[in-house]
Amino acid sequence: MAEHHHRPRQSGSANRRPTLNSMDRVALRAAMATAYDAVTVRKGKERRGSVRSVADQFDRSYGQTRTLLLEAGVKLRTRGGSAGSH
Instruction: Identify whether 67 is part of a domain.
Output: yes
Instruction: Identify whether 32 is part of a domain.
Output: no
User: What per-residue confidence (pLDDT) applies to 1?
Assistant: 54
Number of domains in the chain: 1
pLDDT tens per residue, range 20-66: 788 899 999 999 999 999 987 888 888 888 999 999 999 999 999 99
Instruction: Identify whether 47 is part of a domain.
Output: yes
User: What per-residue confidence (pLDDT) applies to 9?
Assistant: 47
d(CA 83, CA 79) in angstroms, rounded, equals 10
Instruction: Identify whether 63 is part of a domain.
Output: yes
Examine the pLDDT at 85 and tell me if it is beyond 50: no
Provide the whole-model pTM.
0.68
User: What per-residue confidence (pLDDT) applies to 5?
Assistant: 54
Where are the extended beta strands (E) located within 1-86?
39-42, 45-48
Distances (CA, A) of 50 to 7, 31, 44: 41, 14, 18
Query: Which domain covers residue 56, as residue numbers?
Result: 39-75
d(CA 69, CA 54) in angstroms, rounded, equals 10
